């Protein structure tokens, strides 16, 4: 029997006290930075973490400290920092005790919030669902869902591309990962997608909203949404157990999986993994599609450039707008990075977004330039330079799945039309829990011949 992960502190007070205890027990000083308490900094960081991260790099270098609310957070940015945290010293960093712990209220003990043997065993059980042939089968589902939804792309129509893509990606996840019929599953008059959004909106609250407990608070709304989603998931898991599996999707894999003693996975653990995958799959591909077409609307000549491929567009989009833009961890032991000591049991963040926008690593980082991703360009990249899917043994398990989905959707749109932003459109980012265009992305459909990038074979 695989031992369950250690329980997390209950409630915000216990969490804060734990953080303060850890900080007091530090045996080496924190790296230089802004280490005094400041509510102004805390709120400003929560509104716009990206500017803070890049500004800190300029002032202090690749490793520095920012005090956010009650505790220090050590930022580690750039290729070497990414490689240190994700690959060469990954064993010294815990996911569960870092800020990802905040997701456990909804996700429970899934891949994103666990470490060690528990995480390894679960990942091993789930990997077959992401093998090449499963991705091929999923691609057929994706094509089918996209074809069904393309009717909306009539010349002159205004479409909220973010909303449109989110709907597809949720339907695809339900069908391809969990073998559910999205048109049938909502038997209680409940919209599972909306319920999920409501639960996640907790993470977009300001610090006071997230700390409050009791009736009517964002946290109690999260719990209500979770209870409704749980009822739906438990019903499906039971149904699948009664069916005896037989299907090849991820849910069947989890239902049929046994540990070394031949014991099936407890229903709660299956629920936690399903919820985690719904979360991880839901906003990442959707945001990427939105940002890709936003940049094509800003740079229309790129779609007609036969030297550019759909994959180059995708890779540059994930450089400029990596949806999972920050990777929080807790260090286990004190360590040294770039000659600077860092305490053990300290909150550490690596950041794909900040690392992808460092001017000394990516010339003109604010310019959308798919030519960075020619085969030669990619071969010249340093270890840890490009990390939209993380890295090392915990690289995004859904990477191939997500890429396949984005390719199919982007191709379908580029074959049929071009999209423009509405006059006066201004991009405002939402950063919690993932990077996405705040308020969606309304776009106007224009008639056009298939884009040149579709036939490019670089
Ligand atoms: C463009 C699409 C996607 C991007 C950019 C993305 C990005 C990431 C990143 C950066 C991580 C690692 C986070 C860290 O190091 O802290 C991650 C982990 C993960 N992703 Fe994705 N993701 C995408 C799509 C998906 C999809 C479609 C799924 C599910 C089908 C998925 C499931 C997961 C899971 C379960 C993990 C945790 C893996 C582990 O720790 O073993 N992701 N993702």
Q: What is the DSSP string of 369-404?
A: -GGGGSHHHHHTPPTTS--TT--GGGS-TTHHHHHH
Task: Give the pLDDT confidence score for residue 313 in this predicted structure.
Answer: 98
Tokens representing 17 are 């006290």
Residue that has been written with the tokens 């000591």 in this structure: 341
C-alpha 7, offset from chain centre: 24
Q: Residue 48: which of 435, 446, 447 has the closest Cα?
A: 435
| Strand bridging mode 442-447 / 417-421 | antiparallel
The domains located in the chain, with CATH, are 11-145+161-277+318-395 (1.10.630.10)
Which atom number of ligand 1 is nearest to the Cα of residue 401? 27
Q: Is the CB of 176 under 6 A from ligand 1?
A: no
Ligand 1: centre distance to CA 303 (Å):
28
What do you get for the CA distance between the two ends of the chain, in Å?
49
Which atom number of ligand 1 is nearest to the Cα of residue 405? 27
Ligand 1: centre distance to CA 380 (Å):
25
For ligand 1, atom 37, which residue shows the shortest CA distance? 112
**Count of residues making up the chain:** 458
Ligand 1: centre distance to CA 97 (Å):
18
Task: Give the pLDDT confidence score for residue 8 in this predicted structure.
Answer: 86
For ligand 1, atom 9, which residue shows the shortest CA distance? 389
Task: Give the pLDDT confidence score for residue 174 in this predicted structure.
Answer: 82
Ligand 1: centre distance to CA 280 (Å):
6
Q: Is the CB of 398 under 6 A from ligand 1?
A: yes
What pTM does this model have?
0.94
Ligand 1: centre distance to CA 273 (Å):
13
Alpha-carbon gap, residue 325 to 115, rounded angstroms: 20
| Strand bridging mode 436-437 / 429-430 | antiparallel
Task: Give the pLDDT confidence score for residue 61 in this predicted structure.
Answer: 98
Q: Residue 32: which of 339, 352, 385, 357 has the closest Cα?
A: 339
Alpha-carbon gap, residue 137 to 140, rounded angstroms: 5
Alpha-carbon gap, residue 428 to 376, rounded angstroms: 34
Alpha-carbon gap, residue 451 to 415, rounded angstroms: 6
Ligand 1: centre distance to CA 32 (Å):
31
Q: Which residues of the chain have pLDDT under 50?
A: none
Q: Is the CB of 134 under 6 A from ligand 1?
A: no
Beta bridge partner(s), residue 331: 93
> Taking the CA atoms of the chain, what radius of gyration do you get in angstroms?
22
Q: Residue 412: which of 373, 371, 458, 451 has the closest Cα?
A: 451
Alpha-carbon gap, residue 357 to 413, rounded angstroms: 28
Which atom number of ligand 1 is nearest to the Cα of residue 322? 5
Q: Residue 288: which of 407, 425, 396 has the closest Cα?
A: 407
Instruction: State whether residue 66 is helix, strand or coil.
Output: strand
For ligand 1, atom 18, which residue shows the shortest CA distance? 396
Q: Which residues contact 259 (CB under 8 A, 6 or more apart)?
A: 1, 2, 121, 265
């Amino acid at each position: 029997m695989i031992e369950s992960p250690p329980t997390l502190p209950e409630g915000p007070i216990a969490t804060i006290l734990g953080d303060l205890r850890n900080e007091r027990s530090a045996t080496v000083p924190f790296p230089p930075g802004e280490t005094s308490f400041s509510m102004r900094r805390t709120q400003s960081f929560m509104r716009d973490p990206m500017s803070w991260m890049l500004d800190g790099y300029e002032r202090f270098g690749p490793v520095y400290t920012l005090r956010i609310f009650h505790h220090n957070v050590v930022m580690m940015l750039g290729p070497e920092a990414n490689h240190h945290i994700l690959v060469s010293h990954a064993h010294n960093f815990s996911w569960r005790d870092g800020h990802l712990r905040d997701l456990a209220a909804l996700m429970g003990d899934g891949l994103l919030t666990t470490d060690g043997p528990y995480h390894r065993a679960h990942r091993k059980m789930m990997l077959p669902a992401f093998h090449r042939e499963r991705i091929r089968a999923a691609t057929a589902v994706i094509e089918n869902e996209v074809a069904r939804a393309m009717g909306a792309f009539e010349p002159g129509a205004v479409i909220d591309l973010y909303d449109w893509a989110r709907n597809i990606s949720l339907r695809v996840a339900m069908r391809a990962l969990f073998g559910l019929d999205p048109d049938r599953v909502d038997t209680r008059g409940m919209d599972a997608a909306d319920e999920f959004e409501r639960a996640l909106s907790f993470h977009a609250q300001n610090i006071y909203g997230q700390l409050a407990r009791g009736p009517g608070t964002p946290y109690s709304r999260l719990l209500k949404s979770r209870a409704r989603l749980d009822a739906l998931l438990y019903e499906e898991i039971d149904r699948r157990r009664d069916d005896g599996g037989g299907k090849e999707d991820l849910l069947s894999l989890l239902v049929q999986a046994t540990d070394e003693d031949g014991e099936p996975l407890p229903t709660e653990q299956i629920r936690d993994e399903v919820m985690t995958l719904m979360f991880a799959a839901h906003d990442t591909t959707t945001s990427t599609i939105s940002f890709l077409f936003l940049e094509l609307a800003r740079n229309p000549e790129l779609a007609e450039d036969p030297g550019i491929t759909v994959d180059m567009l995708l890779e540059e989009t994930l450089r400029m707008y990596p949806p999972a833009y920050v990777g929080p961890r807790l260090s286990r032991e004190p360590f040294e990075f770039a000659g600077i000591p860092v305490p053990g049991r300290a909150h550490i963040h690596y950041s794909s977004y900040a690392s992808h926008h460092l001017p000394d690593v990516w010339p003109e980082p604010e310019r959308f330039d798919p030519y960075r991703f020619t085969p030669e360009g990619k071969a010249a990249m340093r270890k840890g330079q490009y990390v939209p899917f993380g890295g090392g043994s915990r690289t995004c398990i859904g990477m191939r799945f997500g890429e396949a989905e984005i390719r199919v959707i982007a191709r379908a749109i580029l074959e049929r039309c071009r999209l423009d932003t509405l006059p006066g459109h201004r991009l405002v980012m939402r950063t919690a829990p993932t990077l996405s265009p705040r308020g969606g992305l309304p776009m106007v459909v224009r008639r056009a011949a298939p884009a040149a990038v579709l036939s490019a074979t670089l």
